[in-house]
Amino acid sequence: MTLSMDRPEQKQTASRARPYTLTGGRTRARVEIPIEAPVEALLSAGELDCAPGDIPAVIVRLCGSRPSIAEISAHAGLPIGVARVLVSDLVDSGHLRVHATLTDRSTVAERRLLIERTLSGLRAL
């Protein structure tokens, strides 16, 4: 199944597992990740030690288009805190990279793109 962030009808259905079980009871991410931070996949979902439909594989597949944490949460059907913890785990394991958002040197176009992507992710929630 190909996941597209442009088509909400292809949004992942929410996991039946309780968030507590997905994160092993953890409520805080090891890496502080802003909600608007773009996340990039470094390895394909096929290189994970999990089934293709498992949440970590879904997150890695989504990150092919560098979504924000808000977008990952919405499209994977996860609470934002759970998405942060799982993305943090995948960063630690070398599967994902979190990019910086805005700096003092960010252009108007970069700022506008961030706002548009954040609004898109929030609408999908």
Sorted by where each begins, the domain ranges of the chain are: 30-124
Please name the residue ranges forming H helices in 37-107. 55-62, 69-76, 80-92
Residue 63 to residue 106: CA distance in whole angstroms: 22
What's the token pair of residue 33? 């990740």
> 38: which DSSP letter?
B
- pLDDT value of residue 45: 61
Residue 77 to residue 55: CA distance in whole angstroms: 10
Work out the angle at residue 4's Cα, subtended by the Cα atoms of residues 66 and 101, and round it to the nearest 5 degrees.
20
Q: What is the pTM of this model?
A: 0.69
Residue 5 to residue 99: CA distance in whole angstroms: 18
φ/ψ (deg, to 5) at 7: -115, 105
Work out the angle at residue 64's Cα, subtended by the Cα atoms of residues 25 and 39, and round it to the nearest 5 degrees.
50
Query: CATH number of the domain at 30-124, please?
Result: 1.10.10
- pLDDT value of residue 54: 86
Indicate the length of the chain as a whole number: 125
- pLDDT value of residue 18: 66
User: Among candidates 30, 23, 31, 62, which has minimal Cα distance to 44?
Assistant: 62
- pLDDT value of residue 59: 93
- pLDDT value of residue 39: 93
pLDDT per residue, tens digit, the chain (125 aa), is 444 455 444 444 445 566 667 766 676 777 788 888 889 999 776 677 777 778 889 999 999 989 989 889 989 888 888 899 999 999 998 999 998 878 788 899 988 987 887 787 678 76
